[in-house]
Amino acid sequence: MGPYDRFFPLEEDFREPFSRDRDRVLHCGSFRRLEYKTQVFLNHEGDYFRTRLTHTLEVSQIARTLARQLGLDETLAEVIALSHDLGHTPFGHVGGDELDRLLKEDGHPNGFEHNFQSFRVLTTLEKRYKNFDGLNLTFATLEGVLKHSYPYDKPFYPDWIREAFALDRHPSLEAMIVDHADEIAYTSHDIDDGIKYGLIGFGDLEGLEIVDRVHRMVAREGVAWEDHLYRHRFVASLIRLLVEDFITASQKGVQRYRGERPLCAAIPAEEPLPVGFSAETGSELKRLKKRLFQRLYRHEKIVRNMYAGKQCVRALYRAYVEEPDLLPFSQRELFDRRNPRRVVADMIASMTDRYAMKSYHEIYGISL
């Protein structure tokens, strides 16, 4: 029996395999905790803003649409989308970056990487069966989560992962679709949240061709600039533009490799993806994302909040390393089987923003 044989379902029931995978993900604790993990705005900032959970659901909806229209497996795309952010830490990307830095400083060369952490959640950290760890998902789902974004190979991957998942090859078409659905979702909805929150305005996006195209789409609906519906129609139109462009530009690539579903082991990783946006829209989208990085993601209020989150992650890590008895017993007993630093990082990565801040306050007696 190989190290990855257990990734195949051991039992049969009335559900088809990818539906079973989806249900197992939806019912796991890591999925529920996404509700209180930061997307861009800290979770406690307000009820309107996206969290990791609402973002995940939006990615899933877009991925299902793309898969359906391209004749691919909608349920496989859905479960990869629902799983792709399970490994994210509290406080968004800065939490993961800080854990990565801390682990490497402590001599753990593998560090922390949220895509691999999502894979570990599904195969190791969730415990639902007596005789093995993980959720017991299909190979195609696990491959899609591990390889949904390029580059696929990481220097810290063990040899058995390279052997099992052919990291020199592209993943399934459904996994490629999820990566682009993620891009569509976070770009459009970060604009929505940023404008709603008053950190940016449409004026900050002026001069970008893709924005002008969306403005023209909204104008054809008869919605005026000053109308309170304008922001909603802009975001919906941007999603529509990107989805329709992706479907049109991807049809030939899907037709070429349709017979390889759900795995695309015939496509070397160095070859261009067979699915994606048109060259024009892809270039315009890159310029839009660059503008958002300059005007939104580096806004002083966002940076201030993320800095506070980073300090929280750092302080919790140091506290748990220096005094392991602060950890729950269920975590301490893992020290005999796993690297203690990795256990601490896994514990912190699993936390919601609220629980991390509560733990920080209980240990240090001060609030962030």
Element (H, E) at 126: none
d(Cα 11, Cα 13) in Å, to the nearest integer? Answer: 7
d(Cα 185, Cα 63) in Å, to the nearest integer? Answer: 10
d(Cα 71, Cα 91) in Å, to the nearest integer? Answer: 37
Task: Report the pLDDT value the prediction gives residue 200, as an integer from 0 to 100.
Answer: 95
d(Cα 308, Cα 311) in Å, to the nearest integer? Answer: 5
Question: Which tokens is 214 given?
Answer: 């969306």
Considering its fold, how many domains does the chain have in total? 1
Distances (CA, A) of 210 to 213, 214, 280: 5, 6, 9
Task: Report the pLDDT value the prediction gives residue 39, as an integer from 0 to 100.
Answer: 74
Structural domain boundaries, residue 196: 1-368
CATH number (domain holding residue 326):
1.10.3210.10
Question: Which tokens is 104 given?
Answer: 């490497």
Task: Report the pLDDT value the prediction gives residue 4, as an integer from 0 to 100.
Answer: 43
- Asked if residues 125 and 346 have their Cβ atoms less than 8 Å apart, the reply is yes
CB atoms within 10 A of CB 12: 8
Ranges in the chain, pLDDT < 70: 1-12, 40-48, 259-266, 368
Question: What's the CA angle centered on 109, arms 38 and 270, to 5 degrees?
Answer: 80
Task: Report the pLDDT value the prediction gives residue 260, as an integer from 0 to 100.
Answer: 57
In tens, the pLDDT along 177-204 reads 999 999 999 999 999 999 998 999 999 9
